[in-house]
A and B are shown apart, each in its own frame.
Chain A
Amino acid sequence: MKIRQYLHQLIQGYALHAALAAILAIALLTPQLHAKPVVAFGYLTNTTDNQNYDYLETIFPNSFASSIEAIFYSNVLKPHRVNEILKEKHDSSLQKNYRHVELPDVIDKLNADLFIYGNFTPLAGNRIKIELHLYARGSNEIFTFTNIGKMETEIFKLVDRITLIVVDFMDADNLFMARPIKPGEHIGIITNLEDLELQHMYAAFMEKGHPVISVQGNEIIRLTEDRHVKFIDTFKFIRTVDNSYDTITDWRKTELYYGPWAGIRYNKIRKKLKDIYYTYDVHYLDVKSEIMDKLYNAYGQRLDILCIIGFNEDRDECWVRAIDMRDKRLIWMQSNVKTGMLSANPVKDITDKLIEQMHKERKQPFEK
Chain B
Amino acid sequence: MKKVYSILITGVAVILLFGFIAGCASKKPVRALKRSVSPNSQIAVIVDHPNNIKNVILSRFMERNYRVKAINASDLYTLKDVYDISDFKKLAYKSDMAPEGEGQGDLLSFEKSYDNLYKLHVYNYELNKAESIAEMRTKYNIQYLILLDLKDWKKVSWARAIDLSSYEVIWVENYPAGYDDSLEDVIDHFITSMSGTK
In the complex, per-residue mask of B109-122: 1 if CB is within 8 Å of any chain A CB, else 0: 10011111111101
Choose among B18, B145, B156, B167 the residue with the greatest number of A CB atoms under 10 Å from its CB. B167
Interface size class for chain B?
A: 35 or more
Indicate if the CB atoms of B172 and A203 lie closer than 8 Å: yes
- A247 to B119: give the CA distance in the assembly, Å: 15
Cβ contacts under 8 Å, A190 to chain B: 122, 126
The complex places the Cα of A217 from the Cα of B172 at a distance, in Å, of 10
- Determine whether A148 belongs to the interface, using a CB cutoff of 8 Å to chain B: no
Cβ–Cβ contact B174 & A196, under 8 A: yes
Q: From DSSP, what is the main secondary structure of chain B's interface residues?
A: helix
A295 touches B130 (CB 8 A): yes
Taking a contact as CB atoms under 8 Å apart, the answer to whether B115 and A234 are in contact is yes
Interface presence of A254 (CB below 8 A): yes
Give chain A residues whose Cβ lies under 8 Å from the Cβ of B24: 344
Q: How many A-B residue pairs have CB under 8 A?
A: 179
Min CB–CB distance B155 → chain A (angstroms): 9
Chain B proximity of A332: nearest CB distance (Å): 18
Q: Does B183 contact A (CB under 8 A)?
A: no
Does B108 belong to the interface (CB within 8 Å)? yes
Contact with A along B87-100 (1 / 0, CB 8 A): 00110000000000
B74 within 8 Å of A (CB atoms): no
B119→A234 contact, CB < 8 A: yes
Cβ of A346 < 8 Å from any Cβ of B? yes
Interface residues on A, range: 35 or more
Q: Name the residue on B nearest A215 (C-beta).
A: B126
B162 touches A225 (CB 8 A): no
Asked whether B34 lies within 8 Å of A206 as measured between CB atoms, the reply is yes
* B30 (CB) vs chain A CBs: closest residue: A203
B83 within 8 A of A: yes
Chain A nearest CB, measured from B149 CB (Å):
5
User: A211 on the interface (CB 8 Å rule)?
Assistant: yes
Q: Is the CB of A344 within 8 A of B21?
A: yes
For the complex, is A359 an interface residue (Cβ under 8 Å from B)? no
